[in-house]
Amino acid sequence: MATLLHIDASARPGRSGIDPHGSHSRRLSAHFVAWWQKTRPGDRIVYRDVGQHPPSPVTGEWIHAAFTQPAQREPWMHEVLAESDALVDELLTADVIVAGVPMYNFGVPAGFKAYIDNIVRVGRTFGFDRSRQGLPYWPMLTEMHKRLVVLSSRGDYGYEPCERMAQANHVEPHIRTVFGYLGITDVHGIAVEYDEFGDERLQASLAQAEQDIDALVEELAESLEPLAC
C-alpha cells in the first residue's frame, strides 16, 4: 500500500465546473486523486488544505527552535515546532505528493509558501554541517524516491519553457528548486491556462489537463509496487 499526500493551496474553496467561481487547481487535484483511487483503491490518501488552513508563518522563535539541537530544545521550542513536525511527518510518509498550486502574481500562494517554509527543516529534510568538505548542505529525502505532481492554473497563457511568459513563471521552477533541495527530483507539472479569458481556450486547456492527468496517473501508478491481491 502506498500513501498519497494531497495538498490544495487555492484561496478559492470550491472546484471549477461544480461550484461558482471554483478553483481550477482544486478541480485538477481532485481529478487526480479520484483517478488514482480507481487505479489503486487500496492506497492511503492524506489530505492537507493549506489554502483554507495555511500553516503558521516562520517566526524568530521558530528559527531559534529549528536550529537548536533536538536534545537541547526547551519545552516551548517543541511547541513552536509541533505544526512543522506534523507537516514533515506527512511528507516523509508520502510516496506520491500531488499539489494543487495556482499561480498568484507569478508565484505560489502565501499558504503554500508557509507550507514550504515549514517542511524545509534542518536535520529532518536537509542536512547542514559547516565542517563538511564542499557544500555544507545535503538532501535527506533522496533515497525515499518520492514523486511530486504540481497541478497549477494561470490567468494568462504561455508560461511553459521557451514561451512568451516563461520568465515570469515562478511557480513550478520555485517548487522544483525547493523540493529538489530536499531530494525530491521526480517532479511532474500540468497546468491550466487562459483563466482570465474564460473562453473556449480555457475549456480546451481544462480538458487537455484532465486528459494529461489520466495518463500521468497510469504512469505513476505502474511505477509503484503492485497492490496486494
Binding site, annotated residues: 10, 23-25, 103-106
Known binding residues for FMN are 10, 23-25, 103-106
Question: E-strand spans in 91-222?
Answer: 96-100, 126-128, 137-139, 147-153, 186-192
Which SS3 state, helix, strand or coil, does residue 129 take? coil
E strand or H helix that includes residue 45: strand 44-49
DSSP H helix total and E strand total for the chain: 6, 7
The residue assigned the cell 486523486 is 33
The residue assigned the cell 529538489 is 180
88 is written with which cell numbers? 514533515
